[in-house]
Amino acid sequence: MEQSRRNFIKKTATGAAALSFGGVLSGFSPKSYGRILGSNEKIVVASMGVNSRGLAVAQNFASQKDCEVLHICDVDSRAAQVCIEAVTNIQSKSPKNTPDFRKALEDKDVDVLIVTAPDHWHAPAALLACSAGKHVYLEKPCSHNPHEGEMLVEAAARYKRVLQMGNQRRSWPNVAAGIKELHEGVIGRPYFAKTWYTNNRASIGIGKEIPVPEWLNYDLWQGPAPRKPFKDNLIHYNWHWFWHWGTGEALNNGTHMVDLARWGLGVDFPIKVNSAGGRYRYQDDWETPDTQVINLEFDNQSMITWEGRSCNGKYDEGESVGVIFYGENGSMQIQSGNDYKVFDLKNNLVKEVKNDFVIDPRNLQNPSQQLDALHIRNFFDGIRQGTPVISDIDGGHKSTLLVQLGNIAQRTGHTLNINPKNGRILNDPEAMKLWSREYEPGWEPKV
């Protein structure tokens, strides 16, 4: 039975095939959501890291009728129990509580590992999953550092696994339609993309070393990262702002819009990168910039900028998050939702495609469940019939690398010169020290 199920997943073109990305692009509406829940044959998944965003992703997978969430894996016993109950209510079958995701990878019934754990675990967990023969749905950013991204590209090819990054806007129909128009010349040749993210995040204060809470397996939470004492302002979420575990706002939210900018401009690796900013708003333990501007130049006479303001939520162009493409004959703004506007050179609005969904880009847990389900469907099509996924790890690594390079430029304090063929930093030993990281002995990731 197990072999036949796996053969089905690999070979059969089911009704879900017709619901691949191209099929929903032209006629998708909110009423269509119920129709994207596919066939009766199950894709079985384990979900790793289920607090907040991870809870929402696990619920979205469980909502797909051709999917079963079999394992919930979290080092926080409280978060695991909440997720188990939520998933059970959706699929009417209780998943197993498997705190160590590595145990779930040993289960022959598991087809997919969902990775929504902290950033320092993203690539190491995905690499373990690939080597165990599992496909991976990997939340952005795909890696903590550039070397890990390169390893992921190698692993996906070596083990022939589908590895989709969670930059879900690539699957939002109106966003994709806007990029298609951009490529077809609606504003002439686009040469500059401005991206941004704003929020009003509070201070995280000065952390105190305290005993590890009884509900937390802190050793497994740290995993590949060298060990540091537990502090009371680290878990949950604040790890984003420490270089040891997180990647700052640039990769936390910048990855989404910089990915759209790279897609729209049709570029891969830059030739020059610089960054300015710092921790300006509060004096506390927060290490990464709360205010940052990254500039990326490309060899086709184009550029991308990203502006991040973590502690001042004033909207830019009427939106808390977005991207504007500037071209020879006008501009296009892709906003926070599934919508876009086209302007001529005189700033006249010449076209507007509106969003059909309520989306809250500042919702940390679940800003766009229905639209994100399309990304999951595309991932399932990639597993079942080899359909190219809309955000494969090659592209995911390239987009992640752009903002990683921005952070490296920020931390070194100087402009980076980049090889446009592979994204590698040129003639800069100081910067290349940040290309990878130190790992806890015995936890080093490998392909």
- Of the CATH numbers 3.40.50.720, 3.90.79.10, 3.40.50.1970, 3.30.420.40, which one belongs to the domain with range 2-171+372-393? 3.40.50.720
**pLDDT tops 80 at residue 13:** no
What is the pLDDT, as a whole number, of residue 16? 32
Residue extents of the structural domains in the chain: 2-171+372-393, 173-209+215-362+395-432
Region 131-137: mean pLDDT is: 98
Q: What is the CATH number of domain 173-209+215-362+395-432?
A: 3.30.360.10
Q: Is it true that 2-171+372-393 and 173-209+215-362+395-432 share their CATH fold?
A: no
**Residue 431: which of 147, 80, 51, 5 has the closest Cα?**
147
Region 11-31: mean pLDDT is: 33
| pLDDT tens column, 233-244 | 999 999 999 999
**Residue 111: which of 348, 358, 379 has the closest Cα?**
379
| pLDDT tens column, 300-340 | 999 999 999 999 999 999 999 999 999 999 999 998 889 99
CA-to-CA separations, 336 to 196, 212, 273, 348, 442, in angstroms, rounded: 10, 38, 25, 21, 42
Region 368-381: mean pLDDT is: 90
d(CA 62, CA 47): 10
Tell me which of 227 and 27 has the higher pLDDT.
Answer: 227
What is the pLDDT, as a whole number, of residue 22? 28
Q: How confident is the model at residue 356 (pLDDT cuts 50, 70, 90)?
A: confident
**pLDDT tops 60 at residue 364:** no
Tell me which of 41 and 358 has the higher pLDDT.
Answer: 41
**pLDDT tops 80 at residue 273:** yes
Residue linked to tokens 């389900």: 373
Residue 413, classified by CB atoms within 10 Å of its CB into exposed (0-12), middle (13-18) or buried (19+), is exposed
Q: Whole-model pTM?
A: 0.90
Q: How confident is the model at residue 12 (pLDDT cuts 50, 70, 90)?
A: very low
What is the pLDDT, as a whole number, of residue 131? 98
Helices 119-131 and 146-159: crossing angle in degrees, nearest 10, is: 20
Region 173-178: mean pLDDT is: 96
